[in-house]
Amino acid sequence: MRFRILFALIIVFAFAFSMVSFAQDDVTATPGPSKTPSPSETPVPEETESVETATDISAVPQLSSLPRSYTQEDLSVLVGNVQRPNGIAYIDDYLFTACNGDWTMYRIDSVTGETITYVFGIRNAHQMVSETTEFGFNLWIPDFDTDQFMRIDHTASAPALITRENLDGPWGIANLGEEQFLISNLRADNLVIADSQGNSQVAVEGLRAPAGLIVDGDYVYVANNSSARRAIEWFAIDDLDIDDEGNITVVEGITQPLVTGLQNTSSLVLADDGYLYFSYALGTRGVVGRVNPEECRDGGCSNEQVEIVLFTELTAPLAGLTITPDMRLFVHTIYRPEIYWLELYP
């Protein structure tokens, strides 16, 4: 009898235990507290004091030191299937580069390296300027081989001729207002102002093999490809003689040395970190350096004040140089298909 009572108690206990376990398994888990309180959970004080917000770590560092100078070993090859690339322009995650081997503009994905033939008819472009439009973009291009100022756009139509006037070895280009551009003539030793309607006029004379161009607010920087004594020059836009009706009088002797002591300076890039980057030669090797242009406008900088960004084993000149808004540097040497890249602030 006692055995039967004991057995019944065991059965009842086991059944009760199983029901508790089942109920526990059927409970929905409660999420942990949010690390970021929702607005309704955040108390709002009656009075607040102004405080500095934390710096956005995704923002480009302004005039910040590089982790170190980079070498050839730090470079990675993005692509090597453009036969003879020259100038490079960056637009919306793509690189555009003109091949002076087959006279074709190629579009390259700046991350994957995927390359397509974009348009035929640009023979040799050392520098290009991109412009965002309502429908896409324009790419303004001085063609060094044909002495022409050209434009291509997002439709990948044939290049449109803007002008041939006053162009003799056009190399560099920079925006000068909404409808105007400043173009350097390497062979003619001058600067030309051209507009999108095809008007052009010589504006500055007396230079020495002007190459890359940059407009930095109220100032213009010009790479001097033949004189180490005036490797990079500058002048104020106000020094140009342009009257209220847009008529231009040629001026001379307005440039001042920005950087001295560099050989064969060619490409100029004003990056989003505030520095002026440039390619030049150190012996036979291509080098990328940089300076703070504001400091160098005050009396000029020597080559000893140039910070070497990249010392390559590539033969000078480094024909293509561009830096994206997220501070990826792309570079290549002349007449070689490989386009290299590195992250300046990893």
- What pLDDT digit, counting tens, does each position of 97-140 carry? 999 999 999 999 999 999 999 999 999 999 999 999 999 999 99
| CA–CA distance, 91 with 140 (Å, rounded to integer) | 12
- Mean of the pLDDT values across residues 197-212? 97
Q: Looking at beta carbons, which pairs linking 157-166 to residues 24 or more positions away fall under 8 Å?
A: 157/119, 158/119, 158/120, 158/121, 159/105, 159/119, 159/121, 159/122, 162/194, 162/196, 162/198, 163/194, 163/198, 163/199, 163/200, 165/198, 165/200, 166/192, 166/194, 166/200, 166/201, 166/202
* % of the chain beyond a pLDDT of 90: 79
Q: Find the range with the poorest average confidence among 26-30, 154-158, 222-226.
A: 26-30
| CA–CA distance, 29 with 40 (Å, rounded to integer) | 23
Residue 36 lies in a domain: no
Q: How far is CA 9 from the centre of its chain?
A: 81
Which tokens hold the place of 109?
């994905």
Residue 258 has pLDDT above 50, yes or no: yes
Residue 14 lies in a domain: no
Which tokens hold the place of 164?
């041939």
Residue 36 has pLDDT above 80, yes or no: no
Residue 52 lies in a domain: no
Residue 43 has a pLDDT of 32
Residue 20 has pLDDT above 80, yes or no: no
Residue 268 lies in a domain: yes
Residue 8 lies in a domain: no
More confident site: 323 or 20: 323
Residue 283 has pLDDT above 70, yes or no: yes
Average pLDDT, the chain: 86
User: What CATH number should be reported for the domain holding residue 260?
Assistant: 2.120.10.30
| CA–CA distance, 275 with 48 (Å, rounded to integer) | 37
More confident site: 147 or 1: 147
Structural domain of 206: 70-343
Residue 35 lies in a domain: no
Return the residue matching tokens 């709002």. Answer: 44
Residue 99: closest CA among 75, 112, 110, 115 = 115
Residue 122: closest CA among 106, 137, 105, 107 = 105
* % of the chain beyond a pLDDT of 70: 83
- Mean of the pLDDT values across residues 216-243? 96
**Cβ neighbourhood burial of 61 (10 Å; 0-12, 13-18, 19+):** middle
Residue 224 has pLDDT above 60, yes or no: yes
The dihedral through the CA atoms of 302, 170, 218, 244 has a sign that is positive
- Mean of the pLDDT values across residues 336-340? 97
Residue 61 has a pLDDT of 74
Residue 40 lies in a domain: no
Q: Find the range with the poorest average confidence among 36-50, 53-67, 275-289, 308-322.
A: 36-50
Number of domains in the chain: 1
Residue 157 lies in a domain: yes
Residue 31 has pLDDT above 90, yes or no: no
Give the pairing type, strands 148-153 and 210-216: unpaired
Residue 282: closest CA among 257, 310, 322 = 310
